[in-house]
Amino acid sequence: MSYLIRPVKASDTTRVYAVEMECFPDPYPSEFIEVLIETKRGPFFVADEDGKIVGYAVGTASGRDGHVLSVAVNPGCRRRGIGTALLSAVSRRLVEEGVDDIHLEVRKGNGAAISFYERMGFRAFSEIRHYYRDGEDALVLKRLTASPSPSDR
């Protein structure tokens, strides 16, 4: 099956939240997802596979700083390039909005996600202790926009 990366639509809210629930042990509240869809449509993309949302990525820009809030792909759809395509789409949009760097937080114990982000050109920048609700620390990873990710080349 193939997928399409497209901008999020208001009608995607329930399906994006379903992906959030499936992917994270401490998901964002549905109201937060709804607000992001309403306000962050520029840097908010979904992976649509035959009408089913199988992943999403969202970012924000604040001045020259870009922030990837979330990248999520249904577990059964991983390792097919969907996360790469989603993160690349959000990164490109943030660059279009004029950011100099992009950062994100990731669970310190999530080796698979850390490896993925490193392949996308992100590097460890700092650490936030007790960032997650369960007390786990987060790594802050950063990528300068002058350094394109491998998929942007």
* 89: in domain: yes
Give the CATH number for residue 60. Answer: 3.40.630.30
What pLDDT sits at residue 136? Answer: 94
Number of domains observed in the structure of the chain: 1
- Distances in Å between the Cα of 115 and the Cα atoms of 61, 112, 122 are 24, 5, 9
* 133: in domain: yes
Confidence of residue 1 (pLDDT cuts 50, 70, 90): low
pLDDT in tens, 4-29: 999 999 999 999 999 999 999 889 99
Q: Are strands 44-49 and 4-7 parallel, antiparallel or unpaired?
A: antiparallel
Residue ranges making up the domain that contains 16: 4-148
* 134: in domain: yes
* 102: in domain: yes
pLDDT in tens, 68-103: 999 999 999 999 999 999 999 999 999 999 999 999
* 98: in domain: yes
Q: Is the pLDDT of residue 153 over 50?
A: no
* 153: in domain: no
Cα 44 from Cα 12, distance rounded (Å): 11
* 67: in domain: yes
Nearest to 68 by CA among 136, 30, 116: 116
Per-residue pLDDT, averaged over 115-128, amounts to 96
What pLDDT sits at residue 25? Answer: 87
pLDDT in tens, 42-56: 799 999 999 999 999
Cα 60 from Cα 43, distance rounded (Å): 7
Q: How high does pLDDT run on average in the chain?
A: 92
What pLDDT sits at residue 151? Answer: 53
What pLDDT sits at residue 110? Answer: 94
Cα 109 from Cα 98, distance rounded (Å): 32
* 116: in domain: yes
